[in-house]
């Protein structure tokens, strides 16, 4: 049930975003920057530095997500 609700919301967000982009009402870069406020994504080096652990410790023991060819750590707490 939860996956259905999440998918429904994601579909609405995608549709709204697409329509706004077609009308030049949304700057995609600004949108991505704003979304980063709500996520816990950090690059591997940034995560390691912020948490006082090694790069390899971060890379090998955390959930890694790749976006735009850059690897991020998703540290959902």
- CA distances to 43, 48, 50, 59, 75 from 53, in Å: 13, 5, 8, 10, 14
Q: Assess whether pLDDT exceeds 70 at residue 5.
A: no
Cβ burial 33-61 (10 Å sphere, 16+ → b, else e): eeeeeeeebbebeebbeeeeeeeeebeee
- The tens digit of pLDDT for each residue in 52-62 reads 999 999 999 88
Domain limits, the chain: 1-38, 39-77
Q: What pTM was computed for the model?
A: 0.64
- CA distances to 10, 51, 55, 59 from 62, in Å: 25, 12, 11, 6
- CA distances to 3, 52, 53 from 7, in Å: 6, 36, 35
- Position 28 scores a pLDDT of 85
């Amino acid at each position: 049930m939860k996956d259905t609700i999440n998918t429904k919301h994601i579909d609405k967000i995608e549709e709204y975003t697409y329509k706004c982009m077609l009308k030049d009402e949304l700057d995609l870069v600004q949108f991505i920057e704003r979304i980063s406020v709500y996520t816990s994504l950090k690059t591997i080096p940034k995560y390691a530095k912020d948490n006082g652990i090694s790069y390899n410790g971060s890379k090998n023991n955390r959930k890694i997500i790749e976006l735009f060819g850059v690897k991020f750590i998703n540290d959902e707490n």
